[in-house]
Structure 1
Amino acid sequence: MVDDTELPTDDAQPSDEGGGQRVLTRLLEDEMRESFIDYSMSVIVQRALPDVRDGLKPVHRRILYAMSELSLTPGRPYKKSATVVGDVLGKYHPHGDSAVYDSMVRMVQDFSLRYPLVDGQGNFGSIDGDSAAAYRYTEARLTRLATELLEDIDKETVRFVPNFDGQKEEPTVLPAKVPNLLINGSSGIAVGMATNIPPHNLREVVDACIALIDDPELSQEELEAIVKGPDFPTGGLVCGRQGVVDAYRTGRGRVVMRARTHIEEHERGERIIVTELPFMVNKARLVEQIAQLVRDKKLDSIRDLRDESDRDGMRIVIELKRDAVPYVVLNRLFKHTQMQSTFGTILLALVDGVPRVLTLRQILKYFLDHRHEVVVRRTEYDLGKAKDREHILEGLKIAVDNIDEVIKIIRASRDSDSASTTLQERFGLSERQAKAILDMRLARLTGLEMEKLEAELAEIRATIAELESILASHEKRMGIIADELRAMADQHGNERRTEIAGSVGDFNMEDLIPDDDMVITVSRQGYIKRQSVDTYRAQRRGGRGLRGMTTKDEDWIEHIFSASAHDTLMIFTRQGQCYWLKVWQIPEGSRQSRGRPIVNLVSMARDEELAAVVPVREFSEDQYLLFATRMGKIKKTALAAYGNIRSVGLNAINIREGDRLIDVKIIEPESQILLATRKGMAIRFPESDARPMGRATEGVRGINLRGDDYVIGLVTTREDANLLVVTELGMGKRTEVDAYRLQGRGGYGVINVKVTERTGEVVAIKAVTDEEQLMVITRKGVVNRQAVSEIRTIGRATQGVRLINLDKGDLVMDVARVVVEDEDDELLEGAEGVEGLDGEDGAEPVASVEGGADEGAEGAEGVDEE
């Protein structure tokens, strides 16, 4: 009671005012502080936090103990959950029935506990978030593992305290033959603190306990090598060990969990199959979350979504559109849904009634200390019982040895009390021994029974000696603990469900993707796609070709080049910006599909135009990028200057007004640079003429231009290569590089090709060899693949030969090279003039697209300027 008439500053003083009532005057804040502290400690100790010894909160401990008292053990019939709930409420847990039943339900669910402690019959909920049926409908009994937690509880192994009304007693902790705190984990929110302990694999934890018994000085690193990490009941993956290591060493850490998935091929395309989810993720809610992202257009590559889970296991099917890249979609699912979630580990538990944040070593040590105490108390209890039995047997043996006199005393006694007193006085027996003799049946006097008596006495004495040796030896006690733990692992252990994988930062999606050779095509309007090189079959020079892309009338193929799936594409725009994209991230399309807009794959502005794409494996200090602009400027910059990949891109070269970037290549030392113009001029000079420059520069003059001429192509070559020149009307020729006079940078150059009405202007130049094949692509999307060796090597100032027959109004737009690995001459015969819609008209050569760091997009400007 608070008296508001005075506010003393000293400690509260009792008063007798108020008609004999005792009034306690004190400050309101003092009363609130003490009351709140009392309440907080009650919540911490009696409700929210588990004990480090048995890993149980009071409600779980009371449920298990009440079920044991009801004899609901394995092999016995189930009983209604209402019976258990009523027993727990009436005897031990004075709280609401929903709190007890919800706790019991969780101990049944195999997706909540790694090793369930209650065997349920009926509806106990599901991973979809369905609630359990009411306790009047369900039934339960203990699992075998739960009986191991309760074993020897009747041997005074743990301390008992009065229950809430003092009518019964309950255990303060269970004997716990297994480290339940780690194998099943725990979670709870107290006042000002919380615990969140993940479940672990029983075999790993037992192995760690045994290792710690064998070597108490075992290092933390050695313990972590045994206990690899959490083992969640729902499986899944743990990404990285850093969060696990932090938790084991400091008691706190963040563990990243991911769903287990795989990719399946299907007649309608590829699909992602989810078979395991992160711990505590609601499956139905996850499916709805993915569906909502599809409706919101945040995941536009998903065609269909359905849950095919059944009694055999989980199976969520995510069907993808044909042009989708499965691993890109999977990454977005991890980013935007609960297919990737975080488990915030807090190893907080009660140690001697006090909450403490513990390390892995401390948890194992406290469990072993508890088991040691249990073994000692159990041994002392068994020893006491054994000594009591020995005492009785010794009295019986005395009686048997003096049976005639004993009978005579008994017959002469007036009653049993006087007989007991006489026997005690005559043979020096205790009261208990005398009573046992008086209670002994006459059948014990047969010869066989007398032998059994002596054998039992010898056995009990051996037992006593063994028990005393256990109490005398710490090493023996720890050996018993280790043996019992091994038995638990053998009987209840199973294989790990959760895989410990690389960290999210270290997780390399490329490792899951074959490093295949690809052909990448890009249209003028910025549509990009990738296809396997096997899509295109070899054809003779002059053949009609295969259709490589379906384009609109106002769009056409502008670039075609080769690269490996693991290459990084450096995408350069005519405005001088650079962006990055992995080849495998480009959607794979059919030969007739347009592909996807590049602006949807990188952060290009919509008004930026593509100039060049360079496939790169590594951003090396020893390699250089060579830039060429439309107005004849060149720039050489170290490749490493572009290794700082940014999602928004960066400025690769300074471009003056009226100029624009036309091509970028990786240049090798001691090679030559050759620039070709639209009007048929070309210049060749050593790469050493182009000194290295910084990234944010505009370069130096590479070729001097006349009139309205402009640069259309850049080639970096050695002296032993041939130069391929292709014109817009399908003419082409090979010319030896030596035919181009080596001169200084900045000159007008020499004639490259004789430009006439029959040839049209130059669209592309390439450095080629006889072992390669040529892929020509036209404005209307027709692709022709032919052997380079079929193209004649002729003089420099000539028109060339016909490479491809063009439809009216069609023009050649670009050229790429293919290197043949296993050439068969028969493949190149009989293909002339044949139009193929697929690769089935004749055999395909085994070929791979050349994609080293020295090759990129040998693109041409051209028709768009007419």
Structure 2
Amino acid sequence: MARRKGTQTKVNPAAFDQPGAHVFDNPVKTEIEDSYLEYAYSVIHSRALPDARDGLKPVHRRILFSMNENGYRPTHAYVKSSRVVGDVMGKYHPHGDTAIYDAMVRLAQDFSMNVPLVDGHGNFGSPDDGPAASRYTEAKMSPEAMLLVGELGEDTVDFRPNYDGSLEEPSVLPAAFPNLLVNGTSGIAVGMATNMIPHNLGEIIGAARWLINHPGASLDKLMEYVPGPDLPTGGLLLGLDEVRRAYETGRGVVRMRAKVETGPLEGSRGRQAITVTELPYGVGPEKIIEKITDEVNKSKRLTGIADVKDLTDRENGTRLVIECKVGVNPQALLADLYRLTPLEQSFGINNLVLVDGQPQTLGLKALLEVFLAHRYEVVTRRTKYRRRKREERLHLVEGLLKALLDIDKVIKLIRESDNAQAAKDGLMKRFKLSDIQATYILDTPLRRLTKYDRIELEAEQDRLRAEIEELSKILDDESVLKKVVSSELSKIAKDFPTERRTSLIDGDLKEVLAASKPSGPLEIADDPCQVILSATGLVARTAAESEEASEARRRNGRVKHDAVAAVVHSTARGQILLVTNQGRAFKTDVLPLPVLPEQAGTVSLRGGMAARELVPLDKGERVVGIAPLGERGAGSPGLALGTRQGVVKICSPEWPVRSDEFEVISLKDGDEVVGATWLTDGAETLTFVSSGATLLRYAASLVRPQGLKSGGMAGMNLGADTEVVFFGAVKTDDDEHGEPMVVTSTGQSVKVTPFAEYPAKGRNTGGVRTHRFLKGEQRLTVAWVGPRPAGSTDNGSPVELPETDPRRDGSGAAHPGPDVVGHLIERD
């Protein structure tokens, strides 16, 4: 028999044994189309796409159902994952064990799901690595998973035969919370794919409850409850305009960005580093490191990185440290990292789900409506089941109570009956009982027919009638049904509180990316700048600028100022010395110091950095002075130090080359450095102020410079129970900065006096009185000497000082007084 070209012959082997058998021809095109459609339908419904009601694909649903059926619940001990996989494969999911185990692993990963449905024990993988084999891991259901399967035994969903018809499995789970929106999902079918992003459980429940009571709610109102996705790995989500588009149409693209911190590298004396603490969804540290390595070594598009370290662990979470090279602007480097590595990635939202067996793309409101419709049906079927069970029990209780009213007659009838059937027929006829009631009475032991049991049965009868009435209200009144669903969702949100992990940045995606793009050159020029120590102990620097720009600033009269304790000139890539009250000095880079934010007429020192963020200070140790290093310190006689016990020292600027930490003075027990000032040319005047309100000044040339190990020499002769409260070096011929002033405070009165009113004395003398105490005043709490004085509180808030008093031994003006005093400084 000849066949037409392009056809395929379908042959039934048994047909050859039958007389008059026929062979039917089928075109190849038709056969391929039919077979492919059957395959596509099978993949869509049986593998790739989730059901919009419970948010699960068949394999996930079968895993949870099998674990529940076998008792692997949260209260059960962990069981081998291989055992779970074997049960699922043998009973419900006739596919490869690897596919089943991979699906179960995802249900256990807290970096993949906001609410894990499997409680895994062992290595269940990371964003970079796969899990251990199923024979090495253990699992059981999580408490949240019980919310999906908890009502299966109450006729809440339809069941269907398993693959071989030997068992039954649920077509959908009852799902007490919107699992699809909370955990998201992804899958590739034939000709279509789904990619749903996770959300916060509490926010989704809040939106669902609002929709229950307001079915016509707008999308904008629902977004007040669900402002955007919430990813299990945290991070940033940019451009909520695109999120709204996805919520409206079911499709959209959102941009995820890692959460980072920039600042000094720990233990490196101020080197800059970018520390990644949260990564985009689905990205692991090893992927970042691999991409950075490729960009640095192969394409060479990424420069400025000295090293990358992965310090991620279970205790501290994600911690990826990217060390910058010296002189590299971390903000500019961060912009390149966002552009060239997975630290910034897109997520394409495609809410393709199965609704009544049909693939549909749904927005946020439609997804919530499908879930709520499912819950209404589940609660309705559950309520009918519970009412039916109570009605059946009430029927038995009523029959038993009838028997108890004439228990003697019942017993006599049973004893006189020939057999059980005759006894049942007699009970039904004489006491008007149903077949079920009569059978139950015959099966009831005599010990249940006491007076006490009758009281219990009557109480049970009343309770059953009340419960039936309540259940009937749910079935008869739709508003009551909605209230039940809402209250159950509310309880879930209360029992499983979840804090938002992902930070949302509002606006159009392009505008947000443009506004948030870090700027500035990658390599920072070594231009001059000023390093400032504030009166409250903060360290900062001014923006680096060329000498020409600095001179132009002076000519234009743009004076920026704030209360500071010390200022030294340096360069952006230079180093300075931080001196502490314990006589220690630390070398540190200038580049990591924060640049002071410029405001109208002032440079706010509140943008400074605490010194302990730069150097390892001991408890109670604080920075009291700063000094330049390198060429900026050339020609200076050294660092002038004054201590609490009146010791003075000029430390020669011969700093150790290989040591970043060293002592600049040997202190006696109980002593500490109260002031450390860098001398520019040695023409300064050294000044002590004691708590006994005496001031001593003498030329710095009277103090011989000494080496690091020296303990200094006697600087001020102190009276009994007094101590030094201020030490500094003052320039008396500095016309640019103005006349030096003396500020003293007792906490009740404050006095500002010209420094010129105090005569110079010899070293290690007592000085002259600078503040006459009033009644109740016993000591100075604050003192300071320098040009343009400015007072402030401990937190940096300005305090107005009184007018100048020409009397050096006056009492001052009544004033609560500042906590610290600094001076106003020009930015030059």
| TM-score (norm: length of structure 2) | 0.64
Query: What amino acid does structure 1 have at the position aligned with 2:56?
Result: L
How far apart, CA to CA, are the structure 2 residues paired with 1:145 and 1:126? 21
Conserved 8 A contact 1:53-1:366: yes
Residues 46/563 of structure 1: CA separation in 2 closer, same or farther (3 Å cut) = farther
Are residue 458 (structure 1) and residue 372 (structure 2) matched?
no
Are residue 273 (structure 1) and residue 272 (structure 2) matched?
no
Q: Deviations over 1:302-343 (max 9, x none)?
A: 222111111221111111123111111111110110000000
Task: Report the 3-state secondary structure (helix = DSSP H, G, I; strand = E; otherwise coil) of the residue aligned with 1:164.
Answer: coil
Query: What amino acid does structure 2 have at the position aligned with 1:407?
Result: I
Query: What amino acid does structure 2 have at the position aligned with 1:333?
Result: L
Deviates more, 1:498-507 or 1:377-386: 498-507
Residues 318/407 of structure 1: CA separation in 2 closer, same or farther (3 Å cut) = same
Task: Report the 3-state secondary structure (helix = DSSP H, G, I; strand = E; otherwise coil) of the residue aligned with 1:318.
Answer: strand
What is the Cα deviation at residue 197 of structure 1? 0.3
Residues 20/491 of structure 1: CA separation in 2 closer, same or farther (3 Å cut) = farther
Are residue 408 (structure 1) and residue 412 (structure 2) matched?
yes
How far apart, CA to CA, are the structure 1 residues paired with 2:324 and 2:56? 45
Task: Report the 3-state secondary structure (helix = DSSP H, G, I; strand = E; otherwise coil) of the residue aligned with 1:84.
Answer: helix
What is the Cα deviation at residue 502 of structure 1? 4.3
How far apart, CA to CA, are the structure 2 residues paired with 1:36 and 1:562? 78
Conserved 8 A contact 2:287-2:342: no
Deviates more, 1:278-287 or 1:96-105: 278-287
Conserved 8 A contact 2:187-2:194: yes
Residues 416/510 of structure 1: CA separation in 2 closer, same or farther (3 Å cut) = closer
Task: Report the 3-state secondary structure (helix = DSSP H, G, I; strand = E; otherwise coil) of the residue aligned with 1:188.
Answer: strand
How far apart, CA to CA, are the structure 1 residues paired with 2:308 and 2:364? 41
Are residue 388 (structure 1) and residue 372 (structure 2) matched?
no
Residues 251/295 of structure 1: CA separation in 2 closer, same or farther (3 Å cut) = same
Are residue 317 (structure 1) and residue 231 (structure 2) matched?
no
How far apart, CA to CA, are the structure 1 residues paired with 2:823 and 2:518? 24
What is the Cα deviation at residue 23 of structure 1? 2.4
1:793 corresponds in structure 2 to none
Task: Report the 3-state secondary structure (helix = DSSP H, G, I; strand = E; otherwise coil) of the residue aligned with 1:25.
Answer: strand
Conserved 8 A contact 1:409-1:419: yes
2:289 corresponds in structure 1 to 287
> Paired residue for 1:496, among 477, 494, 500?
500
> Paired residue for 1:334, among 319, 334, 338?
338
Query: What amino acid does structure 2 have at the position aligned with 1:150?
Result: V
How far apart, CA to CA, are the structure 2 residues paired with 1:254 and 1:505? 12
**Alignment of structure 1 residues 224-373 onto 2, 5 Å:** 224-266=223-265, 267-296=269-298, 297-312=300-315, 313-373=317-377
How far apart, CA to CA, are the structure 1 residues paired with 2:58 and 2:391? 35
Residues 487/823 of structure 1: CA separation in 2 closer, same or farther (3 Å cut) = farther
Conserved 8 A contact 1:268-1:322: no
How far apart, CA to CA, are the structure 2 residues paired with 1:344 and 1:514? 28
Residues 6/303 of structure 1: CA separation in 2 closer, same or farther (3 Å cut) = closer
How far apart, CA to CA, are the structure 1 residues paired with 2:6 and 2:517? 74
Query: What amino acid does structure 1 have at the position aligned with 2:193?
Result: A
Are residue 171 (structure 1) and residue 170 (structure 2) matched?
yes
Identity of counterpart residues, as a percentage? 42
What is the Cα deviation at residue 300 of structure 1? 1.9
Query: What amino acid does structure 1 have at the position aligned with 2:326?
Result: R
Conserved 8 A contact 2:291-2:341: yes
Are residue 589 (structure 1) and residue 573 (structure 2) matched?
yes
1:63 corresponds in structure 2 to 63
Conserved 8 A contact 2:55-2:180: yes
How far apart, CA to CA, are the structure 1 residues paired with 2:166 and 2:278? 48
Conserved 8 A contact 2:236-2:502: yes
2:751 corresponds in structure 1 to none
Query: What amino acid does structure 2 have at the position aligned with 1:123?
Result: N
Are residue 825 (structure 1) and residue 739 (structure 2) matched?
yes
What is the Cα deviation at residue 847 of structure 1? 3.9
1:214 corresponds in structure 2 to 213
> Paired residue for 1:397, among 401, 419, 434?
401
Give ranges in structure 1 of 5+ residues lacking alignment: 521-525, 537-547, 551-555, 565-586, 593-615, 618-782, 785-819, 831-841, 851-866
Query: What amino acid does structure 2 have at the position aligned with 1:114?
Result: N
Residues 368/502 of structure 1: CA separation in 2 closer, same or farther (3 Å cut) = closer
How far apart, CA to CA, are the structure 2 residues paired with 1:508 and 1:368? 37
Q: Deviations over 1:628-683 (max 9, x none)?
A: xxxxxxxxxxxxxxxxxxxxxxxxxxxxxxxxxxxxxxxxxxxxxxxxxxxxxxxx
What is the Cα deviation at residue 505 of structure 1? 3.6
Residues 588/246 of structure 1: CA separation in 2 closer, same or farther (3 Å cut) = farther
Conserved 8 A contact 2:228-2:243: yes
Q: Deviations over 1:253-310 (max 9, x none)?
A: 1010000111122414221110000000122121121133233432222222111111
How far apart, CA to CA, are the structure 2 residues paired with 1:562 and 1:24? 98
Task: Report the 3-state secondary structure (helix = DSSP H, G, I; strand = E; otherwise coil) of the residue aligned with 1:463.
Answer: helix
Residues 177/19 of structure 1: CA separation in 2 closer, same or farther (3 Å cut) = same
How far apart, CA to CA, are the structure 1 residues paired with 2:363 and 2:341? 31
Query: What amino acid does structure 2 have at the position aligned with 1:196?
Result: N
Conserved 8 A contact 1:256-1:341: yes
What is the Cα deviation at residue 19 of structure 1? 5.9
Are residue 89 (structure 1) and residue 89 (structure 2) matched?
yes
Task: Report the 3-state secondary structure (helix = DSSP H, G, I; strand = E; otherwise coil) of the residue aligned with 1:26.
Answer: strand
2:719 corresponds in structure 1 to none
Residues 419/530 of structure 1: CA separation in 2 closer, same or farther (3 Å cut) = farther
1:140 corresponds in structure 2 to 139
Task: Report the 3-state secondary structure (helix = DSSP H, G, I; strand = E; otherwise coil) of the residue aligned with 1:4.
Answer: coil
Conserved 8 A contact 1:533-1:847: no
What is the Cα deviation at residue 441 of structure 1? 1.8
How far apart, CA to CA, are the structure 1 residues paired with 2:61 and 2:544? 69
What is the Cα deviation at residue 445 of structure 1? 2.4
How far apart, CA to CA, are the structure 2 residues paired with 1:464 and 1:535? 79
Q: Deviations over 1:435-482 (max 9, x none)?
A: 111112222222211100111011111111111111001011110100
Residues 508/51 of structure 1: CA separation in 2 closer, same or farther (3 Å cut) = closer
Query: What amino acid does structure 1 have at the position aligned with 2:70?
Result: L
How far apart, CA to CA, are the structure 1 residues paired with 2:6 and 2:130? 53
How far apart, CA to CA, are the structure 2 residues paired with 1:3 and 1:67? 57
Residues 511/66 of structure 1: CA separation in 2 closer, same or farther (3 Å cut) = closer
How far apart, CA to CA, are the structure 2 residues paired with 1:304 and 1:468? 69
How far apart, CA to CA, are the structure 1 residues paired with 2:358 and 2:416? 65
Residues 848/258 of structure 1: CA separation in 2 closer, same or farther (3 Å cut) = farther
What is the Cα deviation at residue 6 of structure 1? 6.4
**Alignment of structure 1 residues 699-738 onto 2, 5 Å:** none
Aligned length: 565
**Alignment of structure 1 residues 413-492 onto 2, 5 Å:** 413-492=417-496
CA RMSD across the alignment: 3.7
2:37 corresponds in structure 1 to 37
2:620 corresponds in structure 1 to none
Conserved 8 A contact 2:252-2:348: yes
How far apart, CA to CA, are the structure 1 residues paired with 2:499 and 2:98? 34
What is the Cα deviation at residue 591 of structure 1? 8.3
How far apart, CA to CA, are the structure 2 residues paired with 1:341 and 1:278? 7
How far apart, CA to CA, are the structure 2 residues paired with 1:533 and 1:3? 98
How far apart, CA to CA, are the structure 2 residues paired with 1:239 and 1:21? 69
How far apart, CA to CA, are the structure 2 residues paired with 1:7 and 1:106? 46
Conserved 8 A contact 1:324-1:588: no
Task: Report the 3-state secondary structure (helix = DSSP H, G, I; strand = E; otherwise coil) of the residue aligned with 2:136.
Answer: coil
Q: Deviations over 1:802-847 (max 9, x none)?
A: xxxxxxxxxxxxxxxxxx9x954349x99xxxxxxxxxxx999744
| TM-score (norm: length of structure 1) | 0.61
How far apart, CA to CA, are the structure 2 residues paired with 1:487 and 1:291? 49
Query: What amino acid does structure 2 have at the position aligned with 1:235?
Result: G
What is the Cα deviation at residue 190 of structure 1? 0.3
